[in-house]
């Protein structure tokens, strides 16, 4: 009880974020004290019990996929579905491209430009979304983004020029920033032990949207044609489907969603455990860590390749193998649908390898998976037979998406202090990779699409080699063994001496203790932190 | 496990390389068989080139065996003719999906089929209303003489070898309708409007909660002050 009281006084003093009136905070403190007096089970601000076991921050300790119970699982499903629908809208045009390119008289360069536009908008929006979530909460961030980009989706039926088409795809692409709100929301709702699984599953299922759209849009188009519309009208009408779903999800998130397990930002004050950090220092710490750049680059060649393929694959199958729109769409959708298992499995593989080989194992795991993905991409480019192309594409999709999952198995260990910035930069790097790849290989008529795919595979293999340059002093790199440095040295070094004297680095030390698991089998049993430590404090 | 992975990859690679593709007739081989003469006119203007609108304009296409081949027996195996609408080079540039390839199985020049007729040496005419799904581009008309299986044996076309004469520009529909425009506007306004509505509602609720809190805060503070005063009076300080 005493610890709870001191916690609350800390929260009063230290956590003013400047956007809630101070007098509201003090009233709520009393309310919470009353709550904890009368019941022994954790409840939210309104006195409701949690359906899942929770920790001291009321974050869930387990995840029940089939449950929709508020607040944790409801948030999980709202969050991944919103992200999925944004992916759906962003990649709704590519499966219908054979019709759109004839309607708008597009050249290959125009199609390429629209593909680049669709993924470049979110570079900026992903970087901004982190700040927006910090300020107003992930619920508002997600809903506002979805409901403001829905008009862009509704503008697609109105385009009649190349410029209009590219502009609309650019605007719709902003919606991909829901990735950030999704991850932020998961991190607020789920305990750090399972946040990796929650984040990876939500991200993977969100990316599914890129696959589902390839399947659904041609079917919707076919249905509308069947009802009697002309083809150039049918594709326009088909776009009302993603638009309406996006608006509906935005409303649902606003009405049903909540920012934190206890309630919404506006009702509560933020939990005081988070140390108020200086944005400049956090940014500098990230920018001066060379590993951020390496992983932003390599993520550009797994996630970036995934985005590129989402943009070109339906058209590729339609053109090269003379399939009809619906068949090409079904085949193309299998690429994105592999995300159901591939991305989470990539993370799981990374964790499994780390148990035996630690961080060095994770690095080798990522390099092998991504390089194999590159090799399969090369093979896809030279597959002239439909069956072999489909088989190769399926295996290729597994490796590319597993590489994305494996990358985020490593990212949390690069920095504890600047995790948000580094995750955001990695994500943005993914989009930059998509932009560069499409600009280099899928714009000019000098390369046929199959040659572009081959060259993309070559680039994947070459770029992935930079993982060899990653070195953690306490764990080693791919080729070099570890030095005498410890995890504490590494994570403490993110804080300067002044900050260390103020004790701001203590949370990082706790993290360093847990990170010892990245040594693999070298971890001596005595070094593994036991739960008793946490209870005593 | 890694050895199995490598083996799988190699076998798939082999499969991919051994791509069995049946080659079609080579267009170059048909050059010696340009036995048909073809003419296409826009019905409204009776000209062999110019602009035509989808949905309203008609093309009058007439074909026949070239008189120089009469009685040579070259047309002995012709069973049917396939009349196709083909892209002119200006509409093919930078559009790989309309590329001309020598292998007629892979050639995409003439992707729009107009009609198929039975072959007779005296030829035939067809009047075709340009359908609304035809993309806006510059076209010429080509007629293939095929056998019973559909294999091309000979051809004729309205334009010359460089595909610069007798080209018809077809003007397409946009696909847009006023009703679609209105529906899009309504949905967009609803999306933004309901968002703004929600945000203002929540802001109003917040202001109400704040003002309630201000009131309670001052009331509590006032009560504390009174209590404090009475306490101090009791112990005779004031």
Comparing B55 with B73, the larger pLDDT belongs to B55
Residue of B17, B139, B194, B195 to mutate for A, most A C-beta atoms under 10 A:
B195
Say if CB B46 and CB B80 are below 8 A apart.
no
Is 60 exceeded by the pLDDT of residue B20? no
**Please, is A318 exposed, middle or buried when counting C-beta atoms within 10 Å of its C-beta (0-12, 13-18, 19+)?**
buried
Residues 6+ apart with CB under 8 A from A320: A389, A449, A450
State chain A's maximal CA–CA distance in angstroms. Answer: 74
Residue A24 pLDDT: 28
Binary contact (B174, A247; C-beta < 8 A): no
Output the pLDDT for position A523. Answer: 58
Return the closest-CA partner of residue B23 out of B96, B102, B112: B102
| Contact at CB, A102 and B135, closer than 8 angstroms | yes
Dist. CA A107–CA A101, nearest whole Å: 7
CB contact under 8 A, B213 and A23: yes
Strands, E, within B9-161: which ranges? 36-42, 50-53, 58-65, 80-87, 112-118, 124-129, 137-146, 152-157
Residues of A in contact with B199 (CB under 8 A): 140
- DSSP assigned state of A323: -
Secondary structure of residue B168 in the 3-state scheme: strand
Chain-chain contact of A157 with B16 (C-beta, under 8 angstroms): no
Q: Which DSSP helix (H) or strand (E) runs through B170?
A: strand B168-171
Min mean pLDDT across A174-183, B47-56, B70-79 is at B70-79
Q: How far apart are the first and last CA of chain A?
A: 13
**What pLDDT is recorded for position B221?**
87
Cα angle vertex A39, ends A35, A40, to 5°?
Answer: 120
B5 and A372 in contact by Cβ < 8 A? yes
Contacts of A101 in chain B (CB under 8 A): 95, 97
Nearest to B12 among A98, A230, A391 (CB): A391
Give the tokens for residue A299: 């993520």
End-to-end CA distance of chain B: 89
Query: Which of A151, A245, A251 to substitute to test the interface with B, most B CBs within 10 Å?
Result: A151
pLDDT at A25: 30
Residues of B in contact with A103 (CB under 8 A): 135, 172, 174-175
DSSP A76-134: HHHHHHHHHHHHHHHTSSGGGHHHHHHHTT--HHHHHHHHHHHHHHHHHHHHHHHHHHH
pLDDT average, residue stretch B108-116? 93
Mean pLDDT, consecutive 10-residue stretches, chain A (537 aa), reads 35 30 31 42 72 78 82 90 96 95 94 94 85 82 94 96 96 93 84 77 91 95 94 95 96 89 64 58 87 94 94 92 92 92 87 87 94 96 93 96 90 82 85 94 87 95 96 91 88 85 79 79 52 38
Q: Which residue of B has its CA nearest to A136?
A: B199
Largest CA distance in chain B: 138
Residue pairs between chains A and B whose CB atoms are closer than 8 Å: 153
The string of pLDDT tens digits covering residues B171-193 is 999 899 999 999 999 999 999 99
Q: Distance (Å) from the C-alpha of residue A199 to the closest C-alpha of chain B?
A: 27
Please tell me the distance from the alpha carbon of residue A479 to that of residue B209, in angstroms, as a whole number: 60
Q: What is the pTM of this model?
A: 0.81
> Mutate which of A157, A241, A367 to disrupt the B interface (most B C-beta within 10 Å)?
A157
Contacts of A154 in chain B (CB under 8 A): 184-185, 187-188, 191
pLDDT of residue A45: 64
Residues 139-158 of A with CB under 8 A from B: 140, 143-144, 147-148, 150-151, 154-155, 157-158
Average pLDDT of the residues in B64-83: 87
Q: Is the dihedral of CA A465, A467, A468, A469 positive or negative?
A: positive
Task: Please indicate whether, in this complex, the C-beta atoms of A384 and B21 are within 8 angstroms of each other.
Answer: yes
């Amino acid at each position: 009880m005493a610890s709870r009281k001191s916690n609350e006084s800390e929260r009063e003093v230290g956590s003013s974020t400047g956007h809630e009136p101070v007098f509201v905070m003090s009233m709520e403190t009393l309310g919470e004290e009353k709550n904890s007096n009368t019941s022994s089970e954790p409840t939210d601000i309104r006195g409701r019990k949690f359906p899942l076991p929770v920790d001291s921050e009321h974050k869930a300790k387990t995840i029940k996929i089939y449950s929709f119970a508020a607040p944790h699982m409801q948030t999980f499903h709202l969050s991944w579905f919103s992200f999925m629908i944004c992916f759906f809208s962003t990649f709704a045009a590519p499966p219908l491209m054979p019709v759109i390119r004839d309607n708008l008289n597009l050249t290959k360069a125009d199609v390429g430009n629209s593909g680049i536009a669709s993924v470049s908008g979110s570079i900026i929006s992903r970087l901004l979304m982190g700040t927006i979530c910090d300020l107003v909460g992930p619920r508002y961030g997600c809903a506002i983004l979805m409901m403001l980009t829905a008009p862009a989706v509704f503008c697609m039926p109105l385009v009649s020029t190349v410029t209009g088409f590219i502009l609309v795809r650019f605007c719709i692409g902003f919606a991909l920033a829901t990735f950030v709100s999704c991850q932020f929301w998961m991190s607020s709702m789920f305990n750090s032990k399972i946040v990796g699984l929650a984040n990876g599953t939500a991200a993977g299922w969100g990316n599914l949207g890129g696959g589902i759209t390839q399947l659904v849009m041609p079917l919707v188009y076919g249905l509308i044609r069947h009802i009697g519309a002309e083809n150039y009208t049918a594709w326009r009408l088909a776009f009302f489907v993603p638009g309406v779903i996006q608006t509906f999800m935005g409303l649902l998130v606003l009405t049903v969603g909540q920012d934190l397990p206890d309630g919404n930002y506006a009702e509560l004050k933020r939990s005081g455990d988070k140390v108020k950090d200086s944005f400049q220092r956090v940014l500098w710490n990230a920018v001066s860590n060379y590993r951020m750049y390496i992983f932003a680059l390599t993520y550009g060649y797994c996630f970036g390749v995934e985005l590129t393929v989402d943009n070109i694959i339906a058209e590729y199958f339609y053109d090269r193998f003379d399939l009809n729109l619906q068949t090409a769409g079904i085949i193309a959708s299998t690429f994105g649908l592999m995300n159901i298992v591939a991305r989470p499995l990539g993370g799981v593989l990374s964790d499994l390898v780390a148990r035996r080989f630690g961080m060095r194992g994770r690095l080798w795991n990522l390099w092998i998976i991504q390089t194999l993905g590159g090799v399969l991409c090369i093979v896809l480019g030279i597959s002239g037979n439909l069956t072999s192309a489909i088989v190769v594409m399926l295996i290729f999709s597994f490796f590319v998406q597993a590489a994305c999952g494996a990358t985020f198995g490593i990212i949390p260990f690069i920095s504890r202090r600047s995790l948000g910035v580094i995750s955001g930069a990695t994500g943005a790097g993914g989009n930059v990779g998509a932009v560069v790849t499409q600009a280099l290989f899928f714009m000019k008529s000098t390369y046929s699409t199959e040659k572009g795919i081959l060259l993309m595979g070559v680039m994947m293999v070459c770029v992935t080699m930079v993982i060899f340059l990653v070195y953690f002093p306490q764990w080693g790199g791919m080729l070099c063994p570890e030095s005498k440095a410890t995890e504490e040295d590494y994570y403490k070094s993110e804080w300067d001496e002044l900050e260390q004297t103020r004790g701001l680095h203590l949370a990082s030390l706790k993290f360093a203790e847990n990170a010892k698991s990245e040594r693999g089998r070298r971890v001596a049993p005595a070094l593994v932190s036991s739960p008793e430590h946490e209870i005593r404090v | 496990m890694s050895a199995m992975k490598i083996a799988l990859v190699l076998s798939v690679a082999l499969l991919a390389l051994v791509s069995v593709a049946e080659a079609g007739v080579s267009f170059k081989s048909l050059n010696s068989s340009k036995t048909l003469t073809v003419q296409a006119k826009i019905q409204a203007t009776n000209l062999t080139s110019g602009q035509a609108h989808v949905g309203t304009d008609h093309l009058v296409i007439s074909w026949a065996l070239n008189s120089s081949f009469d009685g040579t027996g070259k047309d002995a195996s012709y069973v049917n003719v396939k009349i196709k609408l083909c892209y002119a080079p200006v509409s093919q540039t930078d559009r790989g999906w309309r590329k001309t390839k020598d292998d007629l199985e892979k050639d995409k020049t003439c992707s729009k089929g107009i009609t198929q007729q039975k072959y007779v040496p005296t030829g035939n005419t067809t009047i075709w209303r340009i359908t609304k799904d035809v993309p806006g581009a510059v076209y010429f008309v080509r007629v293939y003489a095929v056998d019973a299986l559909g294999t091309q044996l000979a051809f004729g076309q309205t334009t010359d070898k460089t595909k610069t004469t007798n080209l018809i520009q077809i003007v397409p529909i946009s696909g847009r309708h006023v009703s679609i425009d209105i529906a899009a506007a309504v949905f967009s306004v609803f999306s933004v409007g309901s968002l703004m509505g929600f945000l203002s509602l929540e802001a109003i609720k917040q202001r109400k909660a704040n003002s309630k809190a201000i009131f309670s805060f001052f009331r509590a503070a006032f009560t504390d002050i009174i209590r404090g005063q009475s306490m101090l009076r009791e112990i005779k300080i004031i």
